[in-house]
């Protein structure tokens, strides 16, 4: 039979290629909507027990009911480190997959409960603290959702002003937080390898996916542009979730970064992709880790030694 475009497309990786996840547990932050919901739905369908880690328990319960399968809902507000600690303190069993999915995007300038710039505080620091507090229970991998926009903004971490008090812009703040996600993954994997752990740290980005994140951007012109783009160019959430699912289910090297294989990594099937030079800098990754420990008061997870 000829190798038609349709035949090649049918061979592209999708959620039906996930392995049997029966008996495995996954925590997904922000699982009640968008990419998080699509990720939860696919993992539950593959047999995993999925924990919806969400701010709003009522919305989380409604989402979990729509997914069906084996699920539970727990409260987690990544913009509140006390909430992160409470979530982690209540965890008492092995955890196969931790998927750091939740995030905020291009907001007007705001602060977390602990006084951090909202995007850096939620997208990076909240997940940094959560991962390290749960890491003693993690048995397989940590997948953190970044963005192709980690290359935008200034393309650096503003170490002397990570809260961007003197240079805030919604785009700069978002780009910094997504760059931080990749540097966090890089340093986490280095530490896991050094400790002899079998746990892997990976990152993924969805390309251009139509989610509710874009509706909260600060600039009305950007919102309008994204609204049109969502209709004409973007993938749906199920397609946008595929890189995360690929990172969660495939045998990939530690610190791997997964994104769509199409033009500009905006859409397509999941594949290994590159990252910016800044996102590959081990010195910046170490420096960010040290700063994140200082800001959150949460130390290297395997040093907690509950399990490994």
CA 138, distance to chain mean position in Å, is: 16
pLDDT of residue 110: 97
Q: Where are the beta strands (DSSP E) in 41-129?
A: 49-54, 71-75, 95-100
Token pair listed for 37? 């919901």
| Average pLDDT score, the chain | 91
Sheet holding 138-145, edge to edge: 71-75, 49-54, 25-29, 95-100, 138-145, 200-204, 257-260, 270-272
Q: Enter the DSSP assignment of 27.
A: E
Burial class (CB in 10 A: 0-12, 13-18, 19+), 133: buried
Angle at 250 between CA 244 and CA 255, to 5 degrees: 70
Half-sphere exposure of 144 (CA within 13 A, CB side): 31
pLDDT digits (tens, 9 = 90+) for 195-239: 999 999 999 999 998 765 544 455 565 555 455 444 446 689 999
Query: Quick one: pLDDT at residue 303?
Result: 80
Q: According to the model, what pLDDT value does residue 154 have?
A: 87
226 phi/psi in degrees, rounded to 5: -65, -35
Return the SS3 of 46.
coil
Q: Which two tokens stand for residue 284?
A: 């910046």
Active site residues: 174
Domains, the chain: 15-299 (3.40.50.720)
CA distance 94 to 168: 40
**Residue for token pair 């507000």:** 77
Which residues of the chain are modeled with pLDDT < 50? 1-3, 5-7, 9-10, 214-216, 225, 228-232, 306-308
Residue 23's contacts (CB-CB under 8 Å, 6 or more residues apart) are 47
Phi, psi of 75 (to 5 degrees): -80, 135
Give the separation between CA 206 and CA 147, rounded to whole angstroms. 7
Give the pLDDT of residue 179: 97
Q: Which of 104, 106, 103, 102 is nearest to 217 (CA)?
A: 106
pLDDT value at position 5? 46
Residue pLDDT, tens place only, 108-131: 999 999 999 999 999 999 999 999
pLDDT the model gives residue 222: 52
Separation between Cα atoms, residue 96 and residue 99, nearest integer Å: 10
């Amino acid at each position: 039979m000829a190798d038609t475009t349709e035949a090649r497309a049918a061979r592209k990786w999708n959620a039906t290629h996930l392995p049997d996840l029966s008996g495995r547990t996954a925590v997904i932050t922000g699982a009640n909507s968008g990419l998080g919901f699509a990720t939860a739905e696919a993992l539950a369908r593959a047999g995993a027990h999925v924990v919806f880690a969400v701010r709003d328990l009522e919305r989380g319960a409604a989402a979990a009911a729509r997914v069906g399968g084996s699920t539970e809902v727990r409260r987690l507000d990544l913009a509140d480190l006390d909430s992160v600690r409470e979530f982690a303190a209540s965890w008492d069993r092995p955890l196969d997959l931790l998927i750091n999915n939740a995030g905020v995007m291009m907001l007007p300038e705001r602060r977390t409960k602990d006084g951090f710039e909202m995007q850096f505080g939620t997208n990076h620091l909240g997940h940094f603290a959560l991962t390290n507090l749960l890491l003693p229970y993690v048995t397989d991998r940590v997948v953190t959702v970044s963005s192709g926009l980690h290359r935008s903004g200034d393309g650096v971490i503003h170490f002397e002003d990570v809260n961007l008090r003197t240079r805030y812009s919604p785009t700069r703040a978002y780009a910094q937080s997504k760059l931080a996600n990749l540097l966090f993954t890089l340093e986490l994997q280095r530490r896991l390898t050094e400790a002899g752990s079998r746990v892997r740290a990976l990152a993924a980005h969805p390309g251009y996916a139509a989610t509710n994140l874009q509706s909260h951007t600060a600039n009305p012109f950007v919102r309008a542009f994204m609204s049109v783009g969502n209709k004409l160019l973007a993938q749906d959430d199920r397609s946008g979730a595929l890189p995360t699912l690929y990172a969660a289910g495939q045998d990939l090297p530690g610190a791997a970064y997964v994104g769509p294989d199409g033009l500009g990594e905006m859409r397509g099937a999941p594949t290994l992709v590159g990252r910016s030079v800044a996102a590959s800098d081990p010195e910046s990754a170490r420096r960010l880790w040290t700063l994140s420990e200082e800001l959150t008061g949460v130390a290297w997870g395997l040093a907690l030694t509950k399990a490994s």
